[in-house]
Amino acid sequence: MLKKIIKYFKDSELKHSLAFALLVFALCGSAAVWKLTSEAAPVARTKEVPLLEIVHRHSDPFQQFPEAFPLQVAVFWTSPGPDPENPLPLVHSLKEMGIPFFITRDLSEALRHRLVILYPSVDSRTFTQPQADQLATFVRRGGFIFAQNVFWGGLQNLFGFRSFAPSRNRHRLVFSGTKDPVTKYLNRPEERETQLGSERFPEIIWSNGYVPAPGAEVLAHFDDGSAALLTNSVGEGKVYLLGLSLLDVVLRNQNNHDYEAQRHYVNAFEPGADVWLLVLRAWYEAYGKDWVRLATIPGGQRSALLLSHDVDWENSFAPGLDFARIEKANQASSTFFIQTKYVDDANSKAFFFAPNVELLRQLKAGGSTVGSHSIIHSRGFNKFELGSGHETYSSYQPRGLGFDTASGATVFGEVRVSKELLDGGIPGQDTTFFRAGHLRVPVSLPEALERSGYQFDSSFTADDVLSNFPFALPRGFGFEEDSEIYEFPVTIEDEESPGFAKRVPQALGVILANAENGAVSVVLIHSNESILKGAAEQELLRQLPPDIVKTDMLTFATFWRARDRLQWSLIQTSVPTEVVLEVKSAESVAGLTFEFQRPIATVTDGATMSPDKRHLVLPEVAPGHSVSIHINYLR
């Protein structure tokens, strides 16, 4: 806040005297300057927020992801034992990339499909010798396998390795300069080399460095020279072998349980987890026959720029209207995350009351969307207790004692009571999006959010989670089960020196790097002033390529959630050039886009084709409804 207030004033003299005053204030420590009572705050309008129970949707991955059509990738789950490693990391990867798949324990069923993933590992107990022979025959006759951590000597020849060495101190990974199709999307330096963990930690994630057999090709190697990704051609088919687990290089990063693998915190391009999603996507597209993929972006577009503003100061409300005007003039919109501060404390006075609430009503009425940015915006939020879940506006009295410390504050309180206030204060508002103050994330955040009726969060940075795709937040940031909350991490923010106004070209560079991958970019601009930052946002929107959607976070998040929960199948008809795409959505969704390997000649039922004839955009699907589109390929 200190930084922010100073930035607001251009006059340097004023800046210095203000900085001095604030420094004195900061040095006063806990000796509060403002009165620590709530006498000033008038009673606000609230709307009750029911406390929901946690719903465990699925425990059986076979039921959740059944075999349905030939184009699906078969996931053979190798670890169903008493302490099974959950397929969640692979499920995240395939769903985010829109690759159709099913999960099975039946090897013959798996081998009926052209593409097979063995997950999470293969040791001497996984397969019998006849099954190993079955796998080898499958590949020889034109099957494709992607596996990770194969340890069994019985499959050495098939996977093309002589030996392997497990280790916890390999820190870097470099993709070789080969022309193999699975590295097709890895064209940038940040993608060609990634970091698995910070050198500050001598021991990080487990990796298995392979020694390749003659004939096998090394596609990526670790810093000790051993092979990280191998490929081996056998007969008509080909296998790929990864010496890492997607649990460690995808889900661990998304959960922020990584060993500080990120190379930047924010405002840079960090695809450390995305490279594995892109390898799987490229593998599917290289070897899937007449493949079809559910695209990440609606409307046949290439990428999306998701705009947001944090309103966390008493004078940040009015400039919000300027940003909304700029966005409207550029056919864009944004989500405003509002600090609903109704108590005075050591950090600031209360400011969530009229006329500020009236400004929020205007923003909402003008087409902007609104999310919560907590109540006291504490930098110690990540250390707060969960709370009881019964915190309400009438009883919850949190107070910041300094930036990092607070009394009477809980995670539930910050999440629920801010929703009570926003939903009560703004007509038609149902707050479902949250962003933590200072992007500090407590481990109980997914639980507090889902039990308070939220659906979306944006409290991480994309660099920190090493991913630029939205993802489901696992419960308790574990590895077993997703919560109901989807995460949209922040890519670009405005406060890092030298300030957003001077970083527009850099921001555009990151946005374009993400666009190449079909990923999204989330922009956060504090609305504490709108002259410099408004001009910068205008410039960013003006320079944005036309095939990048510019939209508010809530609109895109609603799309993404429906996309993630979509059921779809592709069935071949008796006519060789005709297929039927069946789509069923539990939620209303517009702009769903499918990408096709084969160019399309005609489509039915209100679907539209892109000029390249390889993207099909669906008409809006009503909740609980199915649509069937008949597609004729060009001959």
* Residues forming the site for Zn ion (CB under 5 A): 310, 312, 437
**Angstrom distance (rounded) from CA 352 to CA 313:** 10
Please state the closest distance from residue 259 (CB atom) to Zn ion, in A. Answer: 27
376 vs 566, beta carbon nearer Zn ion: 376
Please state the closest distance from residue 493 (CB atom) to Zn ion, in A. Answer: 10
Please state the closest distance from residue 313 (CB atom) to Zn ion, in A. Answer: 8
Measured from the Cβ of residue 56, the count of other Cβ atoms closer than 10 Å reads 8
Compute the chain's Rg from CA coordinates.
26
Please state the closest distance from residue 372 (CB atom) to Zn ion, in A. Answer: 11
Residue least distant from Zn ion (Cβ): 312
In our burial notation (b when 16+ CB lie closer than 10 A, e otherwise), range 181-215 reads: ebbebbeeebbbbbbbbeeeeeebbebbbbebeee
Please state the closest distance from residue 554 (CB atom) to Zn ion, in A. Answer: 18
Please state the closest distance from residue 526 (CB atom) to Zn ion, in A. Answer: 7
259 vs 456, beta carbon nearer Zn ion: 456
- Give the angle subtended at the CA of 548 by the CAs of 543 and 554, to the nearest 5°: 115
User: Does residue 162 contact residue 136 with C-beta atoms inside 8 Å?
Assistant: no
CA distances from 631 to 20, 446, 506, 571 (A): 69, 41, 41, 10
1 vs 532, beta carbon nearer Zn ion: 1
Element (H, E) at 265: none
User: Does residue 583 contact residue 567 with C-beta atoms inside 8 Å?
Assistant: yes
Element (H, E) at 203: none
484 vs 487, beta carbon nearer Zn ion: 487
Element (H, E) at 324: helix 318-329
Please state the closest distance from residue 348 (CB atom) to Zn ion, in A. Answer: 11
312 vs 447, beta carbon nearer Zn ion: 312
User: Does residue 466 contact residue 258 with C-beta atoms inside 8 Å?
Assistant: yes
96 vs 312, beta carbon nearer Zn ion: 312
Please state the closest distance from residue 310 (CB atom) to Zn ion, in A. Answer: 4
Please state the closest distance from residue 436 (CB atom) to Zn ion, in A. Answer: 8
CA distances from 182 to 281, 282, 353, 577 (A): 8, 5, 55, 27
Measured from the Cβ of residue 286, the count of other Cβ atoms closer than 10 Å reads 15
User: Does residue 375 contact residue 340 with C-beta atoms inside 8 Å?
Assistant: yes
400 vs 437, beta carbon nearer Zn ion: 437
User: Does residue 274 contact residue 469 with C-beta atoms inside 8 Å?
Assistant: yes
190 vs 310, beta carbon nearer Zn ion: 310
Please state the closest distance from residue 312 (CB atom) to Zn ion, in A. Answer: 4
312 vs 420, beta carbon nearer Zn ion: 312
252 vs 435, beta carbon nearer Zn ion: 435
61 vs 437, beta carbon nearer Zn ion: 437
**Angstrom distance (rounded) from CA 458 to CA 454:** 12
Please state the closest distance from residue 23 (CB atom) to Zn ion, in A. Answer: 21
Beta strands in 135-216 (DSSP E): 144-148, 161-167, 172-175, 193-195, 207-212
- Tokens representing 463? 């660099």
Please state the closest distance from residue 15 (CB atom) to Zn ion, in A. Answer: 21
User: Does residue 467 contact residue 254 with C-beta atoms inside 8 Å?
Assistant: yes
437 vs 470, beta carbon nearer Zn ion: 437
Q: Can you tell me whether residue 600 is helix, strand or coil?
A: strand
Residues 6+ apart with CB under 8 A from 510: 267, 268, 269, 491, 492, 521
